[in-house]
Amino acid sequence: MQRKSLIASLGLGFALTLLCAPFLSAASEKTSKAIGISQVVEHPALDAVRMGLLTSLKEQGFEVGKNLTVDYENAQGNLVTATQIASKLLSAPLDTIVAISTPSAQTVLYAATRSNKKVPIVFAAVSDPVSAKLEPAESHYPITGVTDSPDLKALLEVMQHLLPNLKSVGLMFNPSESNSVSTITQFKALLKARGIIVREVTVTSTANVAQAMQSLIGKVDVLYFPQDNTVVSAINTVVSIATPSAAHPGIPLFCNDPLLVKQGVLAAVGYDYTEVGKEAGRVVAKLLKGETIKDIPIHNPPHTTTVINKPLAEKFGLSENLPLLTSDNPYLKMIP
């Protein structure tokens, strides 16, 4: 009798498992989330944003391979491809789309407003969401994000501290990138207000960068470029031409991406892009947990960082003007 009871119990348990399996599977699927990531091009800052995003999501309980699926697409600098990526992501069953960079955010939003789907969009590494028309009031679409709006006044102060006799600044950017145009317009106003001469050069692709750089040699005291995807994608070319050599004195480079200081930029005032990604990850996690996107405003990370390449400053003969790293300024760093 006991053996028969055991067999009967096992049989009943197996039957119940079969009956409950669809419901258990449905519950598991319900807790699992899916996001899409559109990135316009590969370069250190945008890659850091993406990695910071995934790290932050894991910290918030969403781990790839466990309860999170990620569809990552990279346009490799091609806006036609970025548009195709946007359409692909919008056709997929995603809970949220993350757009890294202004061009990616614009293409995703453009495709989204022309579809019947209302997939929340979170952007990251967008310098000026207003000029890019990415604000929800402008687009009438569920969108928010984390900006990397540059502190241009702080950057100019660093420039003038390192070069007290600063008289001319070169500006290089791609005029088709709205975030670059907005940043350059603001910076030009600051420079002209201080009586500094401005010389602009524009590039439409990475192939134009070398010629644009050569045209500035000996004509400006420093060169500034915004977080421009075209220029940053050619950073090795920019640095190689800007570095002092026997042939020319070089040009000190300034930008808003601290990561580029290790690659040959003299100084940067900007956001740690891993932290930009982590902040975006916190926003995405809130949405995946059920918060309403309209309750999450567009915002910047909490603080900027100033990074200076000390050996390069010495190479340019600027070591006497280096600011000191003090305990009351924890966001000033020197690369030794």
- Same domain membership, residue 183 and residue 139: no
What digits encode the pLDDT tens for the residues 264-319? Answer: 999 999 999 999 999 999 999 999 999 999 999 999 998 888 999 999 999 999 98
Is position 205 within any domain? yes
The mean per-residue pLDDT over the stretch 28-55 comes to 89
Q: Examine the domain organization and report whether 102 and 121 are in the same domain.
A: yes
Residue range 21-37: average pLDDT?
Answer: 63
Report the alpha-carbon distance of residue 84 to residue 169 in Å, rounded: 38
d(CA 124, CA 100): 5
Together in a domain, 199 and 254: yes
pTM of the model: 0.78
> What is the average pLDDT across 219-236?
95
Q: What is the pLDDT of residue 96?
A: 98
* 38 and 156 co-located in one domain: no
Q: Count of domains in the chain?
A: 2
Q: Which domain holds residue 86?
A: 29-148+273-295
142 plus 277 within the same structural domain: yes
Specify the pLDDT at position 320: 84
Tell me, yes or no, whether 143 and 231 share the same domain: no
Q: What is the model's pLDDT at position 324?
A: 53
Q: Is 223 exposed, middle or buried (0-12, 13-18, 19+ CB in 10 A)?
A: buried
In the predicted model, what is the mean pLDDT of residues 67-95?
A: 96
Same domain, 198 and 266: yes
Residues 322 and 231 grouped into a single domain: yes
On the 0-12 / 13-18 / 19+ scale of CB atoms within 10 A, 21 is exposed
21 occurs within a structural domain? no
- pLDDT attached to residue 331: 61
Point out the least confidently predicted range of 17-21, 28-32, 332-336.
Answer: 17-21
Shared domain for 174 and 71, answered yes or no, is no
Judged against a pLDDT cut of 50, whether residue 10 lies above it is answered with no
Q: Do 69 and 118 share a domain, yes or no?
A: yes
Of residues 22 and 302, which shows the higher confidence score? 302
Cα–Cα distance for residue pair 188/186, rounded to 1 Å: 6
Q: Is residue 3 part of a domain?
A: no
Tokens of 92: 């997929």
- The answer to whether residues 165 and 208 belong to one domain is yes
